Amino acid sequence: MTDMEEIDFSKLDGLAAVVVQDDMTSDVLMVGFMNQEAYTNTLETGLVTFYSRSRNKQWVKGESSGHTLQVVSLRTDCDRDAIVVRVQANGPGVCHEGYQSCFFRLRVGNEWITTEQQTFSPQDIYGGAK
């Protein structure tokens, strides 16, 4: 692999921004970050793996909920510092608040309005933890 083909993790202190897009609907499900380790793990396992800034470690999305994200395709941008991963989402949703997509709030006028319906009970899945 040449340098030209690598992801550039240098601009965001070792991270790249990752957009997760549902391969069926093209909805953006969530935005996260990968470091080199999480990126490599994603490639090797075919399951989207993020780096958690708050917990300071990599985590396979869905490792606790079972709502994993299977990689369908990966794209990177001109600067190679961001990734779009199209996925097949396992389970009813990716959001720890019980929604299919984390982007369940739409700006209407001067307010953010919840426009989506919950697809699962976060209490049942996460037992109160995220």
> What residue ranges bind a copy of itself (CB under 8 A)?
1, 4-5, 11, 17, 19, 21, 26-28, 30-31, 53, 73-80, 82, 84, 95-97, 99, 102-107, 110-112
Burial of 26 (0-12, 13-18, 19+ CB in 10 A): exposed
Compute how many other C-beta atoms are within 10 angstroms of the C-beta atom of residue 32. 25
For a copy of itself, give the closer residue by CB, 110 or 123. Answer: 110
For residue 49, the minimal CB distance to a copy of itself (Å) is 15
For a copy of itself, give the closer residue by CB, 59 or 103. Answer: 103
Distance, CA of 83 to CA of 6 (rounded, Å): 11
User: Can you say whether the dihedral through the CA atoms of 94, 96, 100, 103 is positive or negative?
Assistant: negative
For residue 128, the minimal CB distance to a copy of itself (Å) is 15
For residue 104, the minimal CB distance to a copy of itself (Å) is 7
